[in-house]
Every structure is written in C-alpha cells, then in structure tokens.
C-alpha cells in the first residue's frame, strides 16, 4: 500500500510555497499526496491560475477546510492575527472530518502521516486522536524559529510586554542580549517583531509560544535551510528537539522532481506576469536591481513615494514588483511624471515568478523585505540583498544577512529617498557591493552543495522519509 501524506500549510503565500515544494518531493518519492488549502485560498488559486490549477494529478489531490473567518473573495492576504484565533478554534473538527473521509474513500490509500505547518498545531490533536504520525514544518529560517522559541524567556525576563510605548523609540530595543542559545549579539529589535507591544495578551505572541511548545509533540521539526548557513543555531535547536531535519533550499531540491506535470503545479495566489523576464533578457549582466516585498508587506503612500524616487535617483536599472494590495487600504499610485523619469531603465509589474527572476544573469541585487523564502532564494542564486524588514522574523533574517552572512545592507529607520538612492548605488556600484556579491556567490555554492545527491539537505530528506514518515 502506498504511503499517503496529508500536507497542510498555514494559509499565507509564504507558507504555501515551501509546503507545496515539499509535497512534490514526497510525491516524487512514492507518496500519495493530499494537499489541504483553506477554502479562501483555494478560490484565490482558481482565480489566479485557472480551475485546472487545483485538479491535481494522479495520486496528488487538493482538498480544502474552512478557516473559520467570514467568507470573502478579496485577492489579498488575510489578517494574520484573525487566522491565529480562528484556526485553532475552528480548524480541528473539519480537519478530522477530512482525514476520516480520506480513510473511508476507495480512491486513495489510508492516511499514513501528516506534514503540517508548525503554526497549525491543532493538527497534532488530530494526529494523536487518529494515531497517525505527524511532522511539523516551520517555514522560517532556523534563526527566526529560535527567535520564536525565546518568547517564553523574554516574558520570564520581563522584556515582554514593553513597559510603555516610549520603549519603541528611546533605544530600549537596541539592548544587546547575551543569553540567547546559539545566537550572538542579538538585540531586542532583532527578535520577531510581534514582541514590540505593551499588550501581554497579544494574539500572535501567545500563539507563537503555544506553537513552538507544541512542536516537541511532533516526530520531527522540519526547516527549509541548510546546515552550513545556520550551524550554531541548529546545534542548539537539536538539543531542544529530538529531530530537526534541515531540507533546504527546497527550490533547489525540487529540481530532482522529474515529472514536468508535477513541477508545473503552482502555488502563486496572484497572476504572474512574464513580461519581467522578457525585459530582463535585454539587460546587461548584474545591471538590474530587483525589488519585491513579498505577499504580505504593505507600504504607506509616503513610503511608496520615497522608494519610487529613491530608485529613480539612484540612476540604476530596476525591476519593481508592485502588488495590487501593496499600499495599505488603497491602490498603489506612482507619482506624476514618474514613468517618464524612469523610462527605459525601470520596469514595474504586478507579480512575477521570483525564482526565474533571481536566477536571471541581469539581476545584480535584491531589495527585499527579508521574508525567508525571498532571503533563501536570493542566497541560492548568489544575489546580494538590500534589507527592509517589515514584520515577524524578517528582522531576525535581516540581522543575520547583514552581520553573519555578510550579504546584506539594511535600510534603517524611516524610508527616505536619499537613503534608498545611496544604498542602491553602494550595492550596485560600490566596493562594499562587490564584496557582498562575492560572499553571496560563496553561499550559492554551499546551498547547491547541500541540495545535491550526498549533500546534507538531501541526506536529511532521505532520513526524514525513511526513518520517520515510513517507519511509524
């Protein structure tokens, strides 16, 4: 009987992408796959990619559960804190029903394991009730995950919640902490940003505390990283959890999937615009700055303006992804005369295949929000980073990119066009930029080595499948 893995991501783009990659890898290794989206995201996929996008393949099917929120057909990311309340409260019953339906169906084998997003730990209750083994996949970096694991300690040491709002701006967040396992010289501002509140009952902080605690109930913790990149943190995480399987960068491991039909299954919740790659084809090597803030980051109108003129004033060529919902609460409108100002050297599109863009020889730098998928994809292609972290563990990733991995420059404080123009010039033309490019290429080489046959991530994937998913 074929093993049957049920894969369920947290319902946000940055979580769906790596989970789908892992699901494809498991399918290519002989697993029957049921991939579970929320009804809201299932409908978004259909609108973005057409009804055929969720038909699946033989032995790879899509199913849905409700998320417990009021129904909506907006093409925008849902509120994270609302999801953190509704999913634990309303997710378990429909998830149990789904697995029971699958087990009663003549069209698929019995469910033999669950691969769940690490922040969906209600699935562990289902796994324990049904006596099915479960592994949890935290789609953050190892340093970001360790940051979340420190939340109870920040509470115990009186560093969360903040005593008052002034601590956000009076230098309190610059405080260096010397007690964090496997993480040197961490400042309070380098921890996942949810702790920057005076509310002891903050939904996301308390959700994070519960999810990292529940992770020890799983048979393994999976991370989309590779050992050479985050060794010190991983050593400490491996003392904390019985099995920590580093199986990244997943987009490189995914290349072992031979079936073109399987590879073609996409997860983008926005329509991708191929015009960006066609435009890059006409540009010189390493001459274009790529700017994309991922699927959740929102800008104010003022920030959009400052970034726009900063890019224009840098004199560099650039490709800028402007999502339909990039500006908070309104449509993203570029300033008057802007298109004429950047004609020929600036290209703006609504969404793109980031993997293809970052792999393009014309790309010389990446201005990013430091989401983990973006950071790892940039490193895997040897592209240095300009970091403007928005929220969550993006602050932690930024700290590591700029200090430990030596591939990043941070835009600190308020976004100002002079600052943006200067940092873009440094990256694209300066000596510092050349050093960062050299370092990024070293990380690219290590990332590819980890993903190849015999590499650490490939070995860890084999171990995860053979010793855990097929054994229990």
Positions annotated as catalytic residues are: 15, 117
Give 108: exposed, middle or buried? Use CB within 10 Å, 0-12, 13-18, 19+: middle
- Report d(CA 463, CA 447) in Å as an integer: 19
Beta bridge partners of 177: 186
Phi-psi region of 34 (alpha: psi -120 to 50; beta: other; left: phi over 0): beta
Beta bridge partners of 134: 114
Neighbouring CB atoms inside 10 A of 156's CB total 10
Q: Of the candidates 367, 362, 378, which has an alpha carbon nearest to the alpha carbon of residue 440?
A: 378
- Report d(CA 251, CA 372) in Å as an integer: 12
- Report d(CA 298, CA 323) in Å as an integer: 9
Taking the mean position of all CA atoms in its chain, how far away is CA 289? Answer: 21
DSSP 51: G
Neighbouring CB atoms inside 10 A of 105's CB total 11
Residue pair 211/121 in contact (Cβ under 8 Å)? The answer is yes
DSSP 180: S
Q: What is the DSSP string of 313-361?
A: HHT-EEEEE--TT-BTTS---PPTTHHHHTTTTEEEES---HHHHHTST
* Per-residue exposure over 14-51, b if at least 16 CB sit within 10 Å of its own CB, e if not: bbbbbbbbbbbbbbbbebbbbbbbbebbbbbbeebbee
- Report d(CA 150, CA 118) in Å as an integer: 16
For residue 368, report the phi and psi dihedrals to the nearest 5 degrees.
-135, 160
Give 181: exposed, middle or buried? Use CB within 10 Å, 0-12, 13-18, 19+: middle
Taking the mean position of all CA atoms in its chain, how far away is CA 12? Answer: 9
């Amino acid at each position: 009987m074929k093993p049957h893995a049920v894969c369920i991501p947290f319902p946000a783009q940055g979580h769906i992408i790596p989970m789908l990659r892992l699901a494809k890898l498991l399918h290519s290794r002989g697993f029957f796959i049921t991939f579970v989206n929320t009804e809201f995201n299932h409908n978004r996929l259909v609108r973005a990619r057409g009804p055929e996008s969720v038909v699946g393949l033989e032995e790879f099917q899509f199913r849905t559960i409700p998320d417990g929120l009021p129904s909506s057909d907006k093409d925008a990311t849902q509120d994270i804190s609302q999801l953190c309340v509704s999913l634990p409260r309303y997710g378990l019953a429909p998830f149990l029903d789904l697995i029971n339906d699958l087990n009663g169906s003549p069209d698929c084998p019995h469910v033999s394991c669950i691969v769940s997003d690490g922040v969906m730990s209600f699935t562990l209750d289902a796994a324990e009730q049904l006596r099915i083994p479960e592994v949890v996949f935290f789609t953050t970096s190892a340093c970001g995950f360790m940051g979340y694991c420190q939340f109870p300690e920040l509470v115990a040491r009186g560093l969360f919640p903040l005593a008052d709002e002034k601590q956000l701006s009076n230098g309190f967040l610059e405080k260096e902490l010397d007690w964090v396992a496997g993480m040197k010289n961490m400042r309070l501002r380098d921890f996942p940003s949810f702790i920057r509140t005076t509310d002891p009952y903050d939904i996301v902080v308390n959700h994070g505390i519960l999810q990292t605690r529940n992770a020890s109930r799983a048979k393994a913790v999976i991370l989309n990283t590779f050992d050479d990149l985050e060794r010190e943190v991983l050593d400490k995480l491996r003392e904390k959890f019985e099995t920590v399987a580093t199986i990244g960068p997943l987009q490189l491991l995914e290349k072992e999937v031979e079936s073109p039909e399987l590879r073609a299954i996409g997860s983008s919740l926005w329509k991708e615009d191929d015009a960006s790659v066609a435009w890059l084809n006409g540009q010189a090597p390493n001459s274009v700055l790529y700017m994309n803030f991922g699927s959740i980051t929102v800008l104010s109108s003022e920030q959009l303006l400052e970034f726009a003129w900063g890019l224009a004033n840098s004199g560099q060529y650039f490709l800028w992804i402007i999502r339909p919902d990039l500006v908070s609460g309104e449509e993203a409108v570029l300033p008057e005369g802007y298109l004429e100002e950047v004609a020929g050297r600036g290209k703006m599109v609504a969404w793109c295949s980031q993997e293809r863009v970052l792999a393009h020889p014309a790309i010389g730098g990446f201005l990013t929000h430091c989401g983990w998928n973006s950071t790892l994809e940039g490193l895997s292609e040897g592209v240095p980073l300009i970091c403007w972290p928005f929220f969550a563990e993006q602050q932690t990733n930024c700290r590591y990119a700029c200090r430990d991995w030596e591939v990043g420059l941070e835009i600190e404080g308020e976004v100002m066009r002079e600052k943006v123009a200067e940092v873009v010039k440094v990256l694209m033309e300066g000596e510092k930029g050349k050093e960062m490019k050299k370092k990024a290429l070293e990380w690219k080489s290590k990332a590819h080595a980890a993903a190849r046959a015999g590499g650490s991530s490939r070995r860890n994937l084999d171990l995860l499948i053979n010793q855990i998913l097929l054994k229990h």
